[in-house]
């Protein structure tokens, strides 16, 4: 087991209700340094809501959130930016924190959009903008990264490269990542812990454990289960069936 100092954010039986309708309830999860926790589930299952609870965007929640870091990078699922504001990629990189130029260049290079640095944010394509969003989140070297479908709209080769990048960032920065993704192939190969949501936690644990779970199969089908089990990843630790992490 890791010591408690590694915990970045912890949700205890958290839920959020909007006008009498529960968007999600009863979620408990922990994101630790250097670990990737993935939320999967169908549309409307409360993945983004859970992320927003963890981030503290939703305030009137059930249960509780314990947050042990203020260095947070966030890639939201939907971002509507009002173009009455003239803003270049460079300005956007500096939006929430003052970052050195070298760090900005490095992050933009890593996500492959350094050539867009002085472009107006409104002139980018969907995929380009997504890469800028990821660059912005990682450039501030956060301790906790929350990525809500970070590669949507990115081309196929770019998608693979970006997932590899996310994995690399988790290792090099030793930051904890809360990831939301639909791409079971890509995600499972790198994830430490999977939480399957459908308004509540259906099942959770290591990828291989979740893949074998009947509720998961019912939600995603037999085929998705096969995808998961094909990814047996190599780590310096193993997971017990309950998803507990044991160092080798």
Partner 1 sequence: MFDDFFIRALFAGIGIAFVTGPLGCFVVWRRLSYFGDTLAHSALLGVTMAYTFDLNIAISVFLISSVIALILIQLQKKTNLPGDALLGLLAHSSLAVGLVVIGFLTFIRFDIMGLLFGDILAVNTDDLFVIWTGGALILIVLRLIWKPLLASTVNYELAEAEGLNPDRAKAIFTILMAAVIAISIKMVGLLLITGMLIIPAAMARNISDSPQKMVLFSIIGGLLSVILGLYSSLEFNTSSGPSIIAAALILFILSLFKIKQSIKLKN
Give 33 or 52: the residue with its C-beta nearer to partner 1. 52
Question: Partners of 201 in the beta sheet?
Answer: 197
Using the structure block, give the residue that is written with the tokens 């309708």. Answer: 21
Distance CA 214, CA 225 (A): 9
Our CB check for partner 1 shows the closer of 87 and 160 to be 87
CB of residue 118 vs partner 1: minimum separation in angstroms? 8
In whole angstroms, give the CA distance from residue 34 to residue 164.
15
CB atoms within 10 A of CB 210: 27
Cα–Cα nearest to 162, from 116, 213, 127: 127
Q: Least distance from C-beta 188 to partner 1, angstroms?
A: 26
Q: Nearer Cβ to partner 1, position 43 or 84?
A: 84
Residue 209: CB minimum distance to partner 1, A: 30
Q: Give the nearest distance from C-beta 65 to partner 1 in angstroms.
A: 12
Q: Name the site residues for partner 1 (rule: CB under 8 A).
A: 52, 55-57, 70, 72-74, 76, 79-82, 84-88, 90-92, 95-97, 120, 140, 146
Q: Which is nearer to partner 1, 55 or 113 (CB)?
A: 55
- Contact, 150 vs 135, CB < 8 A? no
């Amino acid at each position: 087991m890791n010591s408690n100092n590694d915990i970045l954010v912890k949700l205890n039986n958290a839920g959020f209700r909007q006008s009498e309708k529960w968007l999600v309830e009863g979620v408990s999860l922990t994101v630790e340094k250097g670990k990737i926790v993935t939320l999967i589930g169908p549309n409307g299952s409360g993945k983004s809501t859970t992320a927003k609870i963890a981030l503290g965007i939703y305030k009137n929640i059930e249960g509780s959130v314990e947050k042990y870091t203020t260095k947070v990078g966030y890639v939201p699922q939907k971002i509507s930016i009002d173009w009455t504001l003239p803003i270049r990629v460079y300005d956007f990189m500096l939006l929430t924190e003052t970052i050195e130029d070298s760090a900005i260049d490095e992050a933009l290079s890593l996500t492959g959009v350094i050539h867009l640095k002085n472009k107006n944010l409104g002139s980018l394509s969907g995929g380009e903008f997504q890469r800028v969003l990821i660059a912005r989140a990682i450039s501030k070297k956060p301790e906790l990264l929350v990525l809500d479908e970070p590669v949507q709209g990115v081309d196929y080769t770019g998608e693979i490269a970006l997932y590899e990048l996310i994995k690399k960032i988790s290792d090099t920065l030793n930051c904890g990542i809360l990831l939301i993704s639909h791409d079971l192939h890509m995600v499972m190969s790198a994830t430490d812990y999977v939480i399957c949501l459908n308004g509540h936690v259906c099942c959770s644990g290591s990828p291989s454990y979740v893949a074998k779970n009947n509720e998961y199969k019912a939600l995603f089908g037999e085929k998705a289960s096969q995808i998961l089990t094909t990814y047996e990843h190599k780590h310096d630790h193993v997971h017990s069936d309950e998803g507990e992490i044991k160092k080798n």
